[in-house]
Amino acid sequence: MRKILILVVLMQLTACMSFSDKSFRSTRNSIVEQVPEISLEKEFALSIGNGLLGFLNVVTLDEANISDLDHLQVAVYNVATGGKKIDFKDLDFAETLRSRGENLHWETIVRVRKKDEQVWVLVGMDLERDSLDAVSVFVLGNDELVLINVDGDLNRMIEFALRPASDQRHRS
């Protein structure tokens, strides 16, 4: 009986995880359309769904409170430029993310430009519901592009993260 239970749990957990970059394909294609001089080849991808995140929440005894997340996706691409120096400063990442769906309004909240590395952090907001539903991070450096996307009820995650500071303020 215990072996069957372990098998069922393992099947459930692996069904909530993928090593495919399918969720980033429209993003990757949009980047290549905007900068046709480059080629992006997948090096690594991981997608974790709500089931596994909920399980991790149970394992951590609700300490992390990540059950409000729907997806966590990470992909790493090798960037081939054919020896040319490509400047990504004109790349419209908000437009790139709109290729994933029109329901969110994307805003760049952080942009860091160093000599060998560029970072963009964008948030996706549902303006009708006045909610923060996604965060995407793009890191370009050393011929590698890293994409990170988190979807879910981020308003509740922010409230959870700020709760200790709020409790501390009320005590003093």
Residues lower than pLDDT 70 in the chain: 1-19, 49-68, 87, 100-101, 157, 160-161, 164-172
pLDDT of residue 101: 67
pLDDT of residue 155: 75
pLDDT tens string 150-164: 888 777 767 766 776
SS3 161: helix
pLDDT of residue 95: 81
133: nearest Cα among 164, 165, 100: 100
As given in the structure block, the two tokens for residue 104 are: 């969110």
Cα 100 from Cα 11, distance rounded (Å): 28
pLDDT tens string 11-29: 455 545 566 788 888 888 8
Is 123 in contact with 104 (CB distance < 8 Å)? no
pLDDT of residue 7: 47
pLDDT of residue 138: 93
Could you give phi then psi for residue 136, rounded to 5 degrees? -125, 140
pLDDT of residue 66: 58
Indicate the residue type of 160: F
Task: Report the predicted TM-score, pTM, of the whole model to 2 decimal places.
Answer: 0.75
